Structure 1
Amino acid sequence: MNRAATTKGHAAAGVLLPPLPTDLRKQEPHAPIVEGQPLISILARERQALKRANARQGRTVQFYDELAARYGTSP
């Protein structure tokens, strides 16, 4: 009976998820536009920002996939 009560208590407590890494909440700003600067350099900085944002999104997906593998997903 104690074992059943313990199991019931664990089920009712739910799952404690680890905290989301701080990096995954970060928003990537646009490259600043500096007057007189060639447009190609602005485009290059925008592409670098996009690469950082895509890498962060990839880490977010990996984080979620690890959680889903560990705890399962809702039906």
Structure 2
Amino acid sequence: MTKGQAAAGVLLPTLPEDLRRQEPHAAVVEGQPLISILARERQALDRANARQARTVQFYDDLTTRYGARR
């Protein structure tokens, strides 16, 4: 427990590992149609956006649970 946690009297839950992960760009393979690369890049963006939404939900749950103000 850190000094700040002891002073606040709140032990925060561990951030899920999934929320720390960064999404890599789609690999560019020579000779592959550009539309397939674009499709994979959009899938990667969708995964990154979903992760960001889970991060916001995690934070919102914490602020609701502990009565923190933004």
TM-score range, shorter chain: 0.7 to 0.9
The residue number in structure 1 matching 2:14 is 19
For the pair 1:45 / 2:40, whether they are aligned, the reply is yes
> Per the alignment, do residues 73 and 13 of structure 1 end up closer, same or farther by CA in structure 2, a change over 3 Å counting?
closer
Q: CA RMSD in A?
A: 1.6
Deviations 1:15-65 (A, max 9, x none): 100000000000000000000001100000000000000000010010000
Task: List runs of 5+ in structure 2 lacking aligned partners.
Answer: 1-5
44, 62, 65: which one pairs with 1:70?
65
TM-score between both structures, scaled by the size of structure 1:
0.79
Q: Paired residues, what number? A: 65
TM-score between both structures, scaled by the size of structure 2:
0.85
The residue number in structure 2 matching 1:29 is 24
Task: Give the structure with higher Rg (CA).
Answer: 1
Identical columns (%): 80
> Per the alignment, do residues 39 and 28 of structure 1 end up closer, same or farther by CA in structure 2, a change over 3 Å counting?
same
Task: List runs of 5+ in structure 1 lacking aligned partners.
Answer: 1-10
